[in-house]
Structure 1
């Protein structure tokens, strides 16, 4: 009798869960971005939101919950009801938070990946009148002047912060790292000449590079960026150890029913086929993700591998956020 009752309860729970997944979404979906409006993650999130909403049949509303290197936004999603109506438009920050922040109010690993959205080249950049015209010359200036030079980033744990750490490690000479409260502030100071250097996603600097407002020395990916075909790769420019990509990924709270995760994934794949999305990504020097990493399982594996990759660099730098 007890066994029959247990089976009945399990069946009822399964039916209820299936019904919830089948009816998803029943209201607008909140897509949280852990950074301020106007930054690289926000730009791509707002680009794909209409396509996601069209496929889901409910609006997808971008909600900026910035601060603490993206951890506040992640906490907002991690602690939300796991029904798919609150999701995270994550970035490389989600691979650094588990190492950078050792006292958090939530488990930074308690997230279910939905799928990789895109990958973005990073550009090594400097103020327009910086005394170097090539990457080799920039490396020479850095090795000569060291901490007298300022290298700006969008805050501890941001993609530009990681790019800065990797650049300093690749050159082998420390400089003064300057954290800002967002990418836009870094760009403002680069264009005004009050900041020496930066290392940021092409989604945040391609237009300024093309306009000549700042200098670009190299792209950190294997191939040149389509939006900046005249800018060499770091391998071409003589710094092959400097290799990385920024990325964005959709996450749901841990425990979200797999049918809901799969439904979100189908909407993401539809968005990545949208011609407007593809065209605008190309303009920004980015490109849609493809292959296994666009699946929930593949994205989860990629995310965990990125955590493992960046942990030693962060620990060696000793720049913890707490």
Structure 2
């Protein structure tokens, strides 16, 4: 009887502690790790969300860029962090594709994190240096097939969104190009603008400004519907390349074991941020928009990551591209 009483008391104490943790949290600044270089599309999304969430939570969220190894270094840091809600990860589609791309990961993308919620789906664009000869996507495919040994395709490194989209593009046209990996989207875009490389497939958050400014040439957006900020840009489906369909989703995570009340508080703050008119307007300027409120939840993100791992595994396996 005494044992049962003590056990009940212990359970009650745990419940009270968890409630107190949620009520008090956060009492100090929070670090949001972005596993890519500053200035890239994921970094832009993170800073917009972090600023709005900071207001809701009453504590500053500091964005820290921990780039390298296709985003796995930053993700590993968060996976191993104390599960107290003070270290978060904002990662893109690479959270799912890393499960196949990397033979040895120091964490399990599906099980070593506490999902907080989806943030946004970012369309991709197929772009080229401004003086590339092809006028539209049909001409681009024809030109690339005839000049495969001369055309270069840039990406932001193995596992980056631009790398994944590039693989889909090459598979769709049945042609392998010379790929040029960079250490981040910024350097890749700089060389595309400068004409040192020919093509790239990258997120609208990184390409919209360059397209509107005439610094690069755009051929298509990789989503079923057009992007409002680029109304004259056709979809890959309408332009004759329906197999290239990809949007780069972003999700917010805490380390596995973070108390559920803390995760719920973070999720509610995220949902509030995604309703923020400033965030919505800025996202719109970048060619994207926040996900629907019902998708910015722990369960939806957790299920989505597992589904995306299954979706991308055959694509990556067929391409035979792996990283150590």
Q: TM-score, structure 1 length as denominator?
A: 0.97
Identify unmatched segments of 5+ residues in structure 1.
none
Q: C-alpha displacement at 1:14, in angstroms?
A: 2.2
Q: C-alpha displacement at 1:293, in angstroms?
A: 1.9
Partner of 1:42: 43
Q: Matched residue of 1:121: which SS?
A: strand
Q: C-alpha displacement at 1:2, in angstroms?
A: 2.1
Q: 1:122 and 2:124 equivalent?
A: yes
1:104 and 1:232 map into 2 onto residues whose CA distance is 38
Q: Is the 8 Å Cα contact of residues 203 and 248 (structure 2) preserved in structure 1? A: yes
1:205 to 1:191, Cα distance in 2 relative to 1, 3 A: same
Q: Matched residue of 1:205: which SS?
A: helix
Q: Is the 8 Å Cα contact of residues 293 and 302 (structure 1) preserved in structure 2? A: no
Partner of residue 165 from structure 1, selected from 164, 167, 179: 167
Q: Is the 8 Å Cα contact of residues 125 and 214 (structure 1) preserved in structure 2? A: yes
Partner of 1:321: 323
Partner of 1:58: 59
1:260 and 1:73 map into 2 onto residues whose CA distance is 21
Q: Is the 8 Å Cα contact of residues 292 and 299 (structure 1) preserved in structure 2? A: no
Q: 1:133 and 2:128 equivalent?
A: no
RMSD value, Cα:
1.1
Q: How does 1:67-106 map to 2 (within 5 A)?
A: 67-106=68-107
Q: Matched residue of 1:113: which SS?
A: strand
1:227 and 1:21 map into 2 onto residues whose CA distance is 40
1:100 and 1:243 map into 2 onto residues whose CA distance is 20
Worse overlay, 133-142 or 143-152: 143-152
Q: Matched residue of 2:279: which SS?
A: helix
1:266 and 1:14 map into 2 onto residues whose CA distance is 21
Partner of 1:3: 4
Partner of 1:112: 114
2:202 and 2:171 map into 1 onto residues whose CA distance is 16
Q: Matched residue of 1:215: which SS?
A: strand
Identify unmatched segments of 5+ residues in structure 2.
none
1:54 and 1:97 map into 2 onto residues whose CA distance is 32
Q: C-alpha displacement at 1:291, in angstroms?
A: 4.7
Q: Is the 8 Å Cα contact of residues 18 and 261 (structure 2) preserved in structure 1? A: no
Q: Matched residue of 2:250: which SS?
A: strand
Q: Is the 8 Å Cα contact of residues 99 and 105 (structure 2) preserved in structure 1? A: no
1:100 and 1:26 map into 2 onto residues whose CA distance is 38
Deviations 1:166-205 (A, max 9, x none): 1111111111121110001111111111101000001001
Q: C-alpha displacement at 1:308, in angstroms?
A: 1.0
1:169 and 1:287 map into 2 onto residues whose CA distance is 28
Partner of 1:265: 267
Q: Is the 8 Å Cα contact of residues 69 and 93 (structure 1) preserved in structure 2? A: yes
Q: C-alpha displacement at 1:154, in angstroms?
A: 0.5
Q: C-alpha displacement at 1:147, in angstroms?
A: 3.5
Q: Matched residue of 2:275: which SS?
A: coil
Q: Which runs of 4+ in 1 moved over 3 A?
A: none
Q: How does 1:203-242 map to 2 (within 5 A)?
A: 203-242=205-244
Q: TM-score, structure 2 length as denominator?
A: 0.97
Q: C-alpha displacement at 1:61, in angstroms?
A: 0.5
